[in-house]
Chain A
């Protein structure tokens, strides 16, 4: 069974730029959730995708957007990067029948300078 994978591992961007992060869900899972984890904090929910549509969103501005593909993989896009966007971005996959058991990938560490 393949776990959740994310790419890239680390990324450095400049304020104002755009970034795309990628996630492949665990085999057998059809739902992907994205979280932002600031240093020393717990993960904060950004949004969830199910059947290629957004299925719940946290308190994040519209410049955070996403996609889910037919193979259940997902992308997180962030436009107009701000310094406060520096964080660990976590992807979690689950099966819609038990979507509360979310399994996390290793994360992408984004640094905005």
Chain B
């Protein structure tokens, strides 16, 4: 089935640094979403992207829908301790109901 390759798998950064992560696929997706999950909780929707090339921000978070429609990127600027968690990308194929998730990027911040 479809797979999303998310990288990096984990990141260890200092507070205040910027963060970049990405998701790639061999398939073309019509929608890309980015979620954050904290321990003991369900994923929380951060950003949804609908058009190739689209750039959308949510506070310090910015995500882009890749031009090829096979990738997406998430950037976090000026990281703070509450950014700690696991970030997942998810894509939706045209006509499909399901979301396909990446393996997640675990973000750890050193104060």
- Number of A positions contacting B (CB below 8 A): 24
**CB within 8 Å for A102 and B99 given contacts A42-B104, A59-B1:** yes
User: Chain A interface mostly helix, strand, loop or mixed?
Assistant: loop
Tell me the number of A-to-B contacts counted with CB atoms below 8 Å. Answer: 59
B65 close to A (CB within 8 Å): no
Contacts of B98 in A (CB 8 A): 33, 45, 48, 56, 58
Q: Are B42 and A56 in contact (CB under 8 A)?
A: no
Q: In the bound complex, how far is the Cα of B53 from the Cα of A32, in angstroms?
A: 29
B45 close to A (CB within 8 Å): yes
Q: CB within 8 Å of B: which of A91-111?
A: 92, 99-107
**CB within 8 Å for A42 and B103 given contacts A56-B96, A100-B31:** yes
Q: Are B99 and A104 in contact (CB under 8 A)?
A: no
Contacts of B8 in A (CB 8 A): none
In this complex, the interface size class of chain B, counting residues with CB under 8 Å from chain A, is: 20 to 34
CB of B18, distance to nearest CB on chain A (Å): 24
Q: Which residue on chain A has the smallest CB distance to residue B35?
A: A104
**CB within 8 Å for A56 and B97 given contacts A42-B88, A101-B48, A104-B42:** yes
Q: Which residue on chain B has the smallest CB distance to residue A109?
A: B40
Q: Are A102 and B45 in contact (CB under 8 A)?
A: yes
Q: Are A90 and B42 in contact (CB under 8 A)?
A: yes
| Chain B residues proximal to chain A, CB less than 8 Å | 1, 4, 6, 30-31, 33, 35, 40-45, 48, 88, 90, 92, 96-104
